[in-house]
Amino acid sequence: MAIMKHEIIEMMAFPREMIRGNVPLETCGHTGHYAHHDPECGVCEARIECEWLYHNDELSGLGEKPLADLLEALQSALLYIDACVARAGHTPSKCRCRACTWLRRAESLQAAASR
Ligand SMILES: [Zn+2]
């Protein structure tokens, strides 16, 4: 089980990078650091991504979280990356790009975890 957790945490690196690249930092008053007490963050269009980052960055102590939480975070990341590649017109089952490769790995990891 410990190995699985480690794998999931490792899998978070790619969506983290993608999300960081997509959060509109130039208009964000918190330089992409989600602030749950700021009402502006609550209505921001990047809120979901930012909130995910906030809960899953390198400093959020992922290693201490229960497996269920990590799987939930992986699931959100999956949906996010899935939406990204769909928008870009990729076919995740065939495409060899980083995002699609990640998607396939994340899906098989998820399947392995739910067995
Ligand atoms: Zn692709």
Q: Please give the tally of structural domains in the chain.
A: 1
Q: Largest Cα–Cα distance of the chain, in whole Å?
A: 43
CA distance 89 to 86: 5
Q: How far is the CA of 39 from the centre of ligand 1 (A)?
A: 36
**Of 72, 103, 70, the residue nearest 85 (C-alpha):** 103
Each residue's pLDDT tens digit, 19-74: 988 887 778 888 777 887 888 888 888 888 888 988 898 888 999 999 999 999 99
Question: Is the pLDDT reported for residue 94 higher than 90?
Answer: yes
Question: Residue 94 region, left (φ>0) first, then alpha (ψ -120 to 50), else beta?
Answer: alpha
Task: Look over the chain and give the mean of its residue pLDDT values, rounded to a whole number.
Answer: 90
> Can you read off the two tokens belonging to residue 89?
């017109």
- In this structure, of 22-36, 40-54, 81-95, 98-112, the range with the lowest mean pLDDT score is 22-36
Q: How far is the CA of 82 from the centre of ligand 1 (A)?
A: 10
Q: How far is the CA of 49 from the centre of ligand 1 (A)?
A: 20
Q: Domain span at residue 93?
A: 2-114
**pLDDT value for 7:** 93
Ligand 1 is an ion; residues with CB less than 5 A from it:
90, 95, 97, 100
pTM: 0.85
CA distance 66 to 32: 26
